Structure 1
Amino acid sequence: MHCLWCDAEIIKEVNWNNLFKLPEDEVICQGCKEQMVLIQGPTCPQCSREMDSEDICEDCVRWGGAGLDWNVSLYKYNDFLKEVVAKWKYRGDYVLVDLFMEDFKKRFETLRVSEETILVPVPLSDERMVERGFNQSEALANALPLQRGNLLSRIHSEKQSKKSRRDRMTTENPFSLNASISKPVLLIDDIYTTGRTLQHAAHLLKEAGASTVFSYTLIRG
């Protein structure tokens, strides 16, 4: 096997723990994996922002519990992941999602999510879907063992990555509801930056009857 990112050959170490097991396909070399830095805290308990303490951060105080109950993110947004995400998300290299899958599934298993929770990948607009060819949030959600719900649609707008922090914080809600919901909802997205997109989605879902709305995101910007 070769690393999906740098194409280096992956030589699996043989030890007493795996000597009698069937070999598992490795998709990332050790050097690249070490650059995908997991968030380990202390963090804001509501949004996973790294902090010096576990107090609620200023942004979450400002939200005031309006929509999203909590967010858990997996990785720090460092230069390595910026480059990986750019190729995966904006240049359409879908297979790169496999770089994240092992860590993404392991972290999910630690979340306190009930089996009745509905999984909702944050949708793209129709125009953005045509442009990219796939929804990165759906690619992540496909790895998780929860029922999916098509509860939201998205209005086409300027890319979030093109907006300043101020513009993101003042943007209007881009989502519309497809159905009412009374169960808990877990939103899936790739990057949590200001939280505005997820707060918009959560606010609508709460209005529609969702008992709680959480999010699980790949990266905390």
Structure 2
Amino acid sequence: MNCLWCDVEIVPETSWANVFILPKPKNLCSACMNELSVLKGKRCKKCSRKSEESLCQDCKKWDLHGVNDPLTLNFSVFDYNEQMQDMISRWKYRGDYCLGYSFKPFYTEAFEKEFISLPKDIVAVPIPLSNERMKERGFNQSLQLADFLPLESCELLTRVHGEKQSKKTRKERISALNPFKITKTINKPVVLTDDIYTTGSTLRHAASLLKEQGCPTVYALTLVRG
């Protein structure tokens, strides 16, 4: 198999540890994997931001203002370094659907480690694209991530078309009106799937709508912490 990023041939490593059990196939070569930055060390327990404190300043603001945060927590897998920016750009904006599979082992491993204690009936809900954005890209990267998880996946939300999130300032993202509509209510806990957590406003818009319609608890698993 060839690396999904640089196309170099991946030669399986043979050792006494895997001589009787075949190693799992890799989608990225070692050089490309080493360019990615898996989030490690101290982080905010609420949003995965790198932080010496258990709760970062942004998340503390929710408590200071007495706002009932609809999102229980977000866990992110990668830091948004230069390599990840390039990969996200090709995957998401240039329609390289297959490249998304390079993230699958990391994403599923994070779910299995960090969300192992969640209720068994939890459902994966991808953050939707607008119809216009879907036509541009050809696929929804958040749905692809949801399909990686060992969960039932339900597309419960639709999105009103608007300016790209990447074009908005932090203030504009936080103060924006809720862009989502719900197509079906759910009374099970939910894990939202999305590619990048930046301010958390997108996830909280989705979470607030789901909770208003009867969802008991909303978590999020994002690929990257911006």
Classify the TM-score, shorter chain.
over 0.9
Query: 1:164 is matched by which residue type in structure 2?
Result: T
- Which position in structure 2 is the counterpart of 1:72? 75
- Which position in structure 1 is the counterpart of 2:123? 118
The partner residue of 1:211 within 210, 213, 216 is: 216
- Which position in structure 1 is the counterpart of 2:110? 107
CA distance in 1, matches of 2:166, 2:74: 20
Question: 1:161-214: CA deviations, max 9, x gaps?
Answer: 111112111111000111222111110000000000000000111101111000
Q: Equivalences for 1:71-90 in 2 at 5 Å?
A: 71-90=74-93
Question: 1:89-136: CA deviations, max 9, x gaps?
Answer: 000000001111111111110113221111100011111111100000
Matching of residue 179 in structure 1 with residue 178 in structure 2: no
> Would you identify which runs of 4 or more consecutive aligned residues in structure 1 move more than 4 Å?
none
Query: 1:218 is matched by which residue type in structure 2?
Result: L
- 2:86 aligns to what SS in structure 1? helix
Tell me if the contact between 2:70 and 2:218 (Cα under 8 Å) persists in the aligned partners: yes
Q: What count of residue pairs does the alignment treat as equivalent?
A: 220
User: Any stretches of 5+ residues in structure 2 without a counterpart?
Assistant: none
| TM-score (structure 2 length as normaliser) | 0.93
- 1:7 aligns to what SS in structure 2? coil
- Which position in structure 1 is the counterpart of 2:203? 198
- Which position in structure 2 is the counterpart of 1:57? 56
| TM-score (structure 1 length as normaliser) | 0.95
Matching of residue 18 in structure 1 with residue 18 in structure 2: yes
Query: 2:28 is matched by which residue type in structure 1?
Result: I
- Which position in structure 2 is the counterpart of 1:96? 99
CA distance in 2, matches of 1:65, 1:37: 32
User: Any stretches of 5+ residues in structure 1 without a counterpart?
Assistant: none
Question: 1:144-163: CA deviations, max 9, x gaps?
Answer: 11112222111001110111
